């Protein structure tokens, strides 16, 4: 099964291409070929989808043909994480790969057909009639073409948040990134409150949970700020709430979770997480927080909660953007990252 990303993967609405990925019965192919820009939310969503697919045959990830987008995925260490898990990573587009593999195997397959060896042919082809990938088609990290002259601005790269030591390490990296961006004060505390509390649900239940954060100068969009995104691929925040608080739609369960001391664990000493996150988001009227869990999507902005229709994700995604005053984010002149 192949799912294809659009050129721009910025907001929760842009993740619709992943909404059916959990239905894959065989190998899942995530095609990022056309991607020109991907946000931290897109990065953690792709990674969480790969983790779910790893329960079956493991995912295949086709890298963007756009050099800047491909370089960003390398710099943000998504490619390192994919390689670490042993998943298939290829910089060759599906169309070019099909053409090459058909050229290499066409004569052999024709002979097999004529000989009636259909079962051998079927073993060589994928479910779509395309020759299947094997290890010879994998791209090694060192072989992927990126532009070393492009370095992205201060950021927290793909970081796993499961153990206490991982949480502490990621917090230190984020603090250093904000310092290099010329940002200090309570911003770091707010950002880490958001990341730690939103990842707590996954940590409490033993699910892999990841965070990515990125600073932006706003030179192109006019909106400088910090974007932080968290994802896990477990049963979802909303489903866990229903286990202890009764049946309700996913969006209602998320809204319920924003109420003080409402938890997916059923314990009275848990559940303040979304309350703390709300306090951090509400410090500035332009701050935004998206929480997506299965079929539910809730936006918090300006102290208000809004249910958003049309976004689905198997697991939990949270994405916060904290805008900053103009010229408040410092970057090295060669550091490039389009907001």
pLDDT value for 335:
44
CA distance 3 to 236: 21
Determine which helix (DSSP H) or strand (DSSP E) holds 9, and give its type and residue range.
strand 8-9
Q: Which of 14-28, 91-105, 242-256, 316-330 has the lowest mean pLDDT?
A: 91-105
269-272, long-range: CB < 8 A, 24+ apart: 270/204
Q: pLDDT per residue over 294-339, tens digit each?
A: 889 999 999 899 999 988 888 889 999 999 877 666 654 334 444 4
| Residue 24 in tokens | 């894959």
pLDDT value for 107:
59
* 48 pLDDT higher than 70: yes
User: Phi, psi (5° rounding) for residue 255?
Assistant: -60, -40
Q: What is the dihedral of CA 106, 111, 113, 116, to 10 degrees?
A: -160
Determine which helix (DSSP H) or strand (DSSP E) holds 107, and give its type and residue range.
helix 94-115
* 120 pLDDT higher than 80: no
The CB-side HSE value for 61 (13 A sphere, CA atoms) comes to 32
CA torsion sign, 84 to 50 to 141 to 214?
negative
pLDDT value for 269:
37
User: Phi, psi (5° rounding) for residue 290?
Assistant: -110, 130
Q: pLDDT per residue over 57-96, tens digit each?
A: 678 999 999 999 999 999 999 999 998 888 888 876 555 5
CA distance 298 to 301: 10
Q: pLDDT per residue over 213-235, tens digit each?
A: 999 887 766 788 999 999 987 66
- Of residues 74, 75, 91, 3, the one with CA closest to residue 45: 3
Q: Mean pLDDT score of the chain, rounded to an integer?
A: 78
pTM for this predicted structure: 0.81
């Amino acid at each position: 099964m192949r799912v294809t990303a659009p050129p721009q993967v910025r907001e929760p609405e842009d993740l619709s291409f992943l909404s059916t990925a959990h239905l894959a019965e065989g190998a899942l192919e995530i095609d990022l070929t056309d991607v020109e820009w991907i946000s931290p939310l897109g990065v953690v969503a792709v990674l969480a989808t790969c983790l779910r697919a790893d329960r079956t045959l493991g995912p295949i990830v086709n890298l963007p043909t756009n050099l800047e987008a491909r370089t960003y995925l390398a710099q943000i260490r998504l490619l390192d994480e994919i390689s670490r898990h042993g998943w298939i990573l290829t910089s060759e587009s599906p169309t070019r790969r099909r053409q090459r593999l058909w050229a290499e195997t066409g004569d052999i397959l024709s002979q097999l057909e004529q000989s009636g060896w259909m079962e051998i042919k079927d073993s060589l082809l994928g479910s779509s009639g395309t020759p299947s990938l094997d290890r010879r088609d994998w791209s090694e990290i060192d072989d992927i073409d990126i532009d070393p002259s492009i370095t992205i601005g201060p950021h927290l790269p793909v970081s796993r948040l499961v153990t206490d030591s991982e949480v502490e390490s990621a917090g230190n990296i984020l603090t250093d990134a904000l310092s290099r961006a010329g940002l200090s004060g309570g911003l770091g505390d707010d950002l880490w409150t958001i990341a730690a509390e939103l990842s707590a649900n996954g940590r409490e239940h033993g699910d892999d949970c990841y965070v990515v954060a990125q600073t932006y100068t706003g030179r192109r969009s006019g909106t400088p700020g910090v974007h932080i995104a968290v994802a896990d691929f477990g049963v979802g925040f909303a489903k866990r709430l229903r286990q202890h608080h009764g049946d309700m739609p996913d969006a209602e369960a998320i809204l319920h979770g924003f109420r003080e001391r409402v938890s997916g664990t059923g314990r009275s000493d848990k559940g303040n997480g979304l309350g703390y996150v709300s306090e951090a988001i509400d410090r500035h009227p332009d701050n935004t927080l998206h929480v997506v869990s299965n079929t539910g999507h809730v936006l918090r902005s300006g102290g208000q909660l809004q249910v958003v229709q049309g976004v689905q994700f198997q697991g939990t995604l949270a994405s916060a953007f904290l805008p900053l005053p103009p010229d408040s984010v410092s970057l090295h002149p060669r550091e490039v990252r389009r907001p």
